[in-house]
Structure 1
Amino acid sequence: MLSVTRKPYPSDLTDREWALLEPLIPSTKPGGRPASIPRREIVNALLYVLCQGTSWRALPHDFPHWKTVYEYFRLWKKTGVWEKASQKLVRTYRSLDGRNEDPSAAVLDSQSVKTTQKGG
């Protein structure tokens, strides 16, 4: 259950979504000080920024401070958390849809593939 005292936003994770994502989000380091902000609230704040298209500084005050949220976003991006989460979620949903977890084909177009500067 969501254990925060604020009203939920439409972009907040459901309990089911959090259950899928939580194992992919790094926990606090052993021996470090305990986390004062739940990881789920950080992710909810990130999703708010993403879904609303707002700036970090415009994050509502009932979320953790925008600088904290931004720093977690940058750290998790740098360490590959979002890439791993994306891959895991794609595999999970492909499996739930009765398809092979790994796609067997990809689509590329001329805008996606870099070529030499001069045409051949």
Structure 2
Amino acid sequence: MLDAIRYLVDNGAKWRVMPADFPPRDRVYAFFRRWRNHDLVREFHDRLRRLVRERAGRDSEPGAGVIDWQSVKADAVVGSDSRGFDGGDQI
């Protein structure tokens, strides 16, 4: 079941096009829905992240995060009240 869900997430596939070598899609979706409703999807993610970090010799919890963005010039129809300025890019 977990492999089927991972396949869907990894490939961006729709439930209706799940390959035949996985269990029936309605069964997989029922498991996913139950796990999601009980917050087990987050639990799986957090446990896996901790395991990977520990195996890499790092602290089990991340100490910092990185946020990235892209500055773009606004179109002429965008009002000046909703525009900002990125000093690093001079935009």
Show the counterpart of 1:47: 6
Show the counterpart of 1:17: none
Distance 1:105 1:60 in 2: 38
In the comparison of the two structures, how many residue pairs are matched?
74
Alignment of 1:83 onto 2:48: no
Q: 1:62 Cα deviation (Å)?
A: 2.5
Distance 1:94 1:69 in 2: 29
Alignment of 1:74 onto 2:17: no
Gaps of 5+ in 2: 70-81, 83-91
Distance 2:46 2:59 in 1: 13
Q: 1:81 Cα deviation (Å)?
A: 1.0
Higher relative contact order (CA 8 A, sep 6+): 1
SS in 2 for 1:70: helix
Q: 1:79 Cα deviation (Å)?
A: 0.7
Give the 5 Å matches for 1:1-120: 42-108=1-67
How large is the RMSD of aligned CA atoms in angstroms?
2.4
Q: 1:107 Cα deviation (Å)?
A: 3.5
Identity, in percent, stands at 33
Gaps of 5+ in 1: 1-41, 111-117
The structure with the larger Rg is 2
Distance 2:53 2:10 in 1: 23
Structure 2 length-normalised TM: 0.65
Q: 1:92 Cα deviation (Å)?
A: 1.1
Q: 1:109 Cα deviation (Å)?
A: 6.7
